[in-house]
Amino acid sequence: MNENPGAESFAELKRREQITNPQSEVVHFPASKGLPLDSGAVLAPFSVAYQTYGTLNEDKSNLILVCHALTGDQHAANPHPVTGKPGWWETMIGPGKPIDTDRYFVLCPNVIGGCMGSTGPSSLNPATGRPYGPDFPVITLRDMVRAQARLLDHLGIDQVLSVIGGSMGGMQVLEWAATYKERVFSAIPIACAARHSSQNIAFHEVGRQAVMADPDWCDGQYLEEGRSPRKGLAVARMAAHITYLSDRALHMKFGRNLQDRDEVTFGFDADFQVESYLRHQGMSFVDRFDANSYLYITRAMDYFDIAADHGGVLANAYAGTKTRFCLISFTSDWLFPTEESREVVHALNAVAANVSFVEIDSDKGHDAFLLHEPELFDTIRGFLTSAARQRGLGEGG
Amino acid sequence: MDAPVNPPHLRSADTARVDLLLIAEMIAPESRVLDIGCGDGTLLRILSDKHGVDGRGIELSQAGVNQCVAQGLSVIQGDADTDLAYYPDLAFDYAILSRTIQATRNPRLVLEQLLRISKHVVVSFPNFGHWRVRAQLMFGGRMPRTDTLPESWYDTPNIHLCTIKDFLALCNDMGAHVERAVALNAYGTKLVSIPLSAQNLFGEQGVFLLSR
């Protein structure tokens, strides 16, 4: 641990370069083309950073939009510029993989509110010339999706072959299919729900309070103070990380095994392997993620409730949809349990939408969508191949 | 070793599901179809390959669903007894219940729902009035087991078996219009020009096209 945990780490400084000068393509939308937000505010100017993989075909019909999760970013299938680790979905995206870059053109944007080059709370506020910090407007998932739609406009894409994502990414997929019906040929929402449950909000609140309780949060002005609420954000991550795993997965991985010792120490060191693991998860997260982004994005998820946006009836959001849906859930995911996906399926049935629904038997918990799950791969490959055929794409792409 | 020759008295798997081909025949091209209890998607594949229909499926077993979706079929995990209620009126041109009605908890309610959500309903089921079934019970004194009803009484999913006559009586009760009624014998041949009682005796399965 740092001698001065409240100070910025080297890795953190390196990461902050990505805010202003990301190793990604970036589209800057000028102040005159600001983004109207659900809150009534306008984000102007704003930027969207994105990665692409594969080649866009001539009639621009082979684009797959990948939406990332809460703490993900646009680096889905390339080494991460800060950590050097493989992209978060390298198993899924690439030549010959289920999202086959020999056939499809893959676009993965960083969400607004994020910290990897799209405009977020650590970006400079043009009104003050200083980082937004707590002055950044509260955003929603629909705002994120709107920003992505603006990116597609900019790239001249009318309709995506598919929009896919897990967790918060899956929620964006559902929002896409509700808000831009004509622009979504097919949709693959994975391990998600059409609204954030009370339990989910509760977990997020714990995380936010941990961040805000850290004196180095400095009322959100830590960037200007040259501080960093590392401890608070690490605790938030630790709590959240538990929710991404199943009880069984934790037990299989760690049991009650002790960490580098033969007996408990009768103290508060990380006696157990699971403690040591969580501490590591917390600390390494801090190097690659911004605390205020964490607050804003968790808030956006909490506000998410598609039915509420459509007269309280989820089916209303999808009336008349021609999108082909494929929902996927995992048996051991207790953060977004299968029942939540099934509710979406029932709403889609109510409007006679074209929907597939697969529940995958896995003991990996919510994070299963990021892992090597053969049935997940088979499902996505099969569904995308069929969608591409329906869309009139040749077998060769 | 000589290549095995199909002896004429043995039935190939294709003949065993000859009801599927007959069902496919009843479906108008380019229509919207819901296959309830679609299994591994055999019928949906026949329909979408040969008839260009917009096909959807509901299947109880998760393994069956996953297999279907991996092949690009639109299938959800669901239960005919509970999940049909979510569909709007007349959402489909055809709803198909092939060899599934006998496994539902409330066949009458399922049929009501199907007639609500679809213009036409195709139902096929193993005929419990077939002479082999009657003979096994009459002379063997045991619960019948046949090619179309292979399970033992204690592990069969078929909890509401009926005869062709029973089914027609139910249709009559419900005021469902029987557009077509076909009995197939053990060789998959349509039994035509014989009275209902004979169809009920020699038909191994019945295939019906209904509407409101």
pLDDT in tens, B154-210: 999 999 999 999 999 999 999 999 999 999 998 889 998 899 999 999 999 999 999
Residues A143, A146, A148, A150, CA torsion sign: negative
Does residue A259 form part of some domain? yes
**B141 has a pLDDT exceeding 60:** yes
CA-nearest of A242, A191, A232, A205 to A358 is A191
Cross-chain Cβ contact B76/A361 below 8 Å: no
Name every chain B residue with its beta carbon within 8 A of the beta carbon of A361. Answer: 62
Phi, psi of B40, rounded to the nearest 5 degrees: -90, 10
For a pLDDT cut of 70, what percent of chain B falls above it?
92
CB atoms closer than 10 angstroms to residue A57: 16
Name every chain B residue with its beta carbon within 8 A of the beta carbon of A320. Answer: none
B161 touches B126 (CB < 8 A): yes
Is A366 labeled as catalytic in the residue annotation?
yes
- Rg of chain B in Å (alpha carbons): 17
Count CA atoms closer than 13 A to A265's CA, side-chain side.
10
Assembly ipTM: 0.84
Count CA atoms closer than 13 A to B138's CA, side-chain side.
8
- Rg of chain A in Å (alpha carbons): 21
- For residue A378, the chain B residue with the least C-alpha distance is B70
Q: Average per-residue pLDDT in chain B?
A: 90
Cross-chain Cβ contact A379/B70 below 8 Å: yes
Beta strand ranges found along chain A (DSSP E): 25-29, 35-36, 42-43, 46-53, 63-67, 93-94, 99-100, 105-109, 124-125, 130-131, 162-166, 186-190, 324-330, 354-360
Cross-chain Cβ contact B62/A386 below 8 Å: no
Could you tell me the two tokens for A25? Answer: 């393509």
- Whole-number pLDDT of residue A397: 44
- Which residues are bridge partners to A64 per DSSP? A106, A162
Candidates A326, A331, A358, A385, partner chain B, best to mutate (most B CBs within 10 A): A358
Write the CA distances from A181 to A35, A163, A301, A317, B179, integer angstroms.
Answer: 20, 12, 21, 10, 38
Does residue A3 form part of some domain? no
- Whole-number pLDDT of residue A4: 65
Q: Coil, helix or strand for A66? A: strand
Is A333 labeled as catalytic in the residue annotation?
yes
Name every chain B residue with its beta carbon within 8 A of the beta carbon of A389. Answer: 72
CB atoms closer than 10 angstroms to residue A29: 20
Does residue A154 form part of some domain? yes
Cross-chain Cβ contact B76/A357 below 8 Å: yes
Name every chain A residue with its beta carbon within 8 A of the beta carbon of B66. Answer: 358, 360, 375, 378-379
DSSP state of A305: B
Beta strand ranges found along A147-215 (DSSP E): 162-166, 186-190
Tell me if chain A has a CB within 8 Å of the CB of B92: yes
Structural domain of A94: 10-390
How many separate domains does chain A show? 1
CA-nearest of B87, B69, B92 to A325 is B69
What's the gap in Å between the CA of A386 and the closest CA on chain B? 5
Cross-chain Cβ contact A389/B72 below 8 Å: yes
For helices A198-213 and A291-302, the axis angle rounded to 10 degrees is 160
Name every chain B residue with its beta carbon within 8 A of the beta carbon of A386. Answer: 71-73
Q: Could you give all domains of chain B from N- to C-terminal order, each with its CATH number? A: 13-211 (3.40.50.150)
Does residue A106 form part of some domain? yes
Tell me if chain A has a CB within 8 Å of the CB of B12: no
**B50 has a pLDDT exceeding 60:** yes
Cross-chain Cβ contact A379/B71 below 8 Å: no
- For residue B56, the chain A residue with the least C-alpha distance is A354
CA-nearest of B107, B113, B77, B75 to B95 is B113
- Whole-number pLDDT of residue A2: 46
What's the gap in Å between the CA of A350 and the closest CA on chain B? 5
Catalytic residue among A118, A162, A167, A228: A167
Looking at residue A19, which CATH number applies to its domain?
Answer: 3.40.50.1820
Cross-chain Cβ contact B71/A349 below 8 Å: no
| Residues of chain B by 3-state class (helix, strand, coil), percent to 5 | 40, 25, 40
Longest Cα–Cα distance in chain B: 58
- Whole-number pLDDT of residue A308: 97
What's the gap in Å between the CA of A204 and the closest CA on chain B? 31
pLDDT less than 70: residues of chain A: 1-5, 395-397
Catalytic residue among A333, A341, A362, A367: A333
Name every chain B residue with its beta carbon within 8 A of the beta carbon of A375. Answer: 66, 70
Name every chain B residue with its beta carbon within 8 A of the beta carbon of A357. Answer: 65, 75-78
Q: What type of residue is A11?
A: A
Cross-chain Cβ contact A350/B86 below 8 Å: yes
Does residue A4 form part of some domain? no
Q: Between B54, B56, B77, which is nearest A359 by CB?
A: B77
pLDDT in tens, A5-44: 677 777 788 888 888 889 999 999 999 999 999 999 999 9
Cross-chain Cβ contact B66/A360 below 8 Å: yes
Q: At a CB cut-off of 8 Å and minimum separation 6, what does A334 contact? A: A243, A246, A365, A366
Does residue A247 form part of some domain? yes
**B76 has a pLDDT exceeding 90:** yes
Tell me if chain A has a CB within 8 Å of the CB of B83: yes
What's the gap in Å between the CA of B186 and the closest CA on chain A? 35
Cross-chain Cβ contact A346/B86 below 8 Å: yes
A69 touches A169 (CB < 8 A): yes
Phi, psi of B156, rounded to the nearest 5 degrees: -85, 140
